[in-house]
Structures are given as C-alpha cells and as structure tokens.
C-alpha cells in the first residue's frame, strides 16, 4: 500500500515524512464492515487502528445487555492508542459503527515508537485526552439533554468524521449507541424529518440542513468539536 493511502488518516498524515516512511512496512490495510468488533472490554490490545473512513465507537456494556457510546473515532485519530503507555487492556468495546477502512499497526510497534520519540508520544497522549474528553462530555450530555438534542449532536459528529451527508445506519444500532429504545429514536427521527433537517429510510440517514441541526443540537457538539480542534491539531508533527 502506498504512503498516500495510509495518509488518509489524519494522525498518520501529520507525521514527519521520514517517520511515516519508516512505518509503512508495518502498516496493513484492512476493511472494517459495520458492527465489526475490534476489542471487547478487558481484551489485551494487540493491534492499533487508524481509520481512513467509517466510524469506530467505544461503548460501555451494561449488565442488562444494553450498551451506550462513550466516544467516536474516525479518520482524525486512532483506536487502541492507550497501549503505547503500558496500558494494553481495553476498557471498552470498540466496534465499527459505520463500516470503512483502516491502517493497522501492531501494538508493540506503536509502543516502541512512543518510547523512541517524545513528540510522537505527546501526540498520542493528546489523542487519548480527546477520547477522555468525549467520554466526559457524553456522560453529562446523556444525563441532562433531550434525546432530540443528543441525536442532532450525534448526527453532526458523524458528518464531521465521514465528510458526508449520508450515513448508513439502522435505527436499532443508533438506539444502542444512544442508550435508548428504538421507538424513542424513531419518534425523534420523525420529528427531525418533519422539520426538514434529515431524510430517513431504513438503514440510511441523509442530512438535509446542517445549520438547522446545529440549532437543534445541544452545546456538547460545539464543545467536543473545540476539544478536537485543540488536541488533534494536524500541524503538530510527530
């Protein structure tokens, strides 16, 4: 695979050319179909994923069998970065929420690179900080904001990560990510559709009015976006 292909991921693209070139022999290209599980909670992280497309969700599983999303990772970041800091155990399930592709690197290789380069290690730490910031914001959002505002925020975040107004996702899976019943998602999706903000058919959502969705979303969308712009600055080379 060429350097330009792996550079579809923002973190890899931000590396100095010589560092990325040194990584190329160890990077593998993989397809991640929707609902692919990368890690279960408690698994040893053996591989790190740098998405090119699609979205990976970090979710918390509950004893009731329900799960709720803590963070979303796309082409701007990586999954499994905590393994670089002698923390090889996954604290969440990592699942492909929207199918896509990724570059994969052995976790031991990532750890070696982090030990060899202070700037690369600092870059990875900022990405882990962003995941933590998302999880903290999600906890506050789920406790205080309406489902309509949360759904609008979630759709906008998907739009940012995918770079597309089209999202392939069923209401069942969306309800799992938001931690609510499918009927609740259906009612709120219908409200957004009636308002002309989205168009929904089974397994597919199209965003029609981004500005309207921003007005409907809670403050958490802007907060998470600001954290990402500050912590994942691609101009900071590693």
Domains of the chain: 3-142 (2.60.120.10), 146-217 (1.10.10.10)
> Crossing angle, helix 171-178 and helix 147-162, to 10 degrees?
110
Mean pLDDT by 10 residues, the chain (238 residues): 73 88 91 95 96 95 84 95 89 94 95 90 94 94 93 94 91 82 88 94 91 96 94 68
pTM of structure? 0.91
Residue 3 to residue 23: CA distance in whole angstroms: 9
Which H or E run includes 204? Answer: strand 204-207
* CB distance 130 to 231 below 8 Å: yes
pLDDT at 141 (0 to 100): 93
Spell out a b/e string for 9-30, using b for 16 or more CB atoms within 10 Å of the CB, else e. Answer: bbbbbbbeeebbeebeeebeee
pLDDT at 93 (0 to 100): 94
Can you point out the beta strands (E) in 25-146?
28-32, 37-39, 47-51, 55-61, 67-73, 93-98, 100-106
């Amino acid at each position: 695979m060429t350097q330009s292909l792996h550079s579809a991921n923002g973190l890899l693209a931000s590396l100095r050319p010589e560092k990325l070139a040194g990584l190329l022999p160890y990077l593998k290209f993989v397809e991640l179909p929707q609902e692919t599980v990368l890690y279960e909670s408690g698994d040893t992280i053996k591989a790190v994923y740098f998405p090119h497309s699609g979205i990976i969700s970090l979710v918390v599983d509950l004893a009731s069998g329900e799960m709720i999303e803590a963070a979303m990772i796309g082409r701007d970041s990586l999954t499994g970065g905590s393994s670089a800091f002698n923390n090889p155990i996954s604290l969440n399930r990592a699942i492909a929420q929207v199918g896509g592709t990724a570059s994969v690197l052995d976790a031991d290789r990532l750890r070696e690179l982090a030990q060899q380069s202070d700037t690369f290690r600092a870059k990875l730490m900022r990405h882990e900080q962003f995941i933590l910031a998302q999880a903290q914001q999600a906890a506050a959002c789920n406790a205080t904001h309406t489902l309509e505002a949360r759904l609008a925020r979630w759709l906008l975040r998907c739009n940012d990560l995918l770079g597309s107004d089209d999202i392939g996702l069923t209401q069942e899976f969306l309800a799992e990510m938001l931690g609510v019943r499918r009927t609740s998602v259906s009612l709120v999706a219908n409200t957004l559709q009636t308002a002309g903000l989205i168009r929904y058919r089974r397994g597919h959502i199209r965003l029609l009015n981004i500005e309207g969705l921003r007005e409907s979303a809670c403050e958490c969308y802007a907060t998470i976006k600001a954290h990402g712009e500050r912590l994942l600055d691609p101009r900071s080379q590693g």
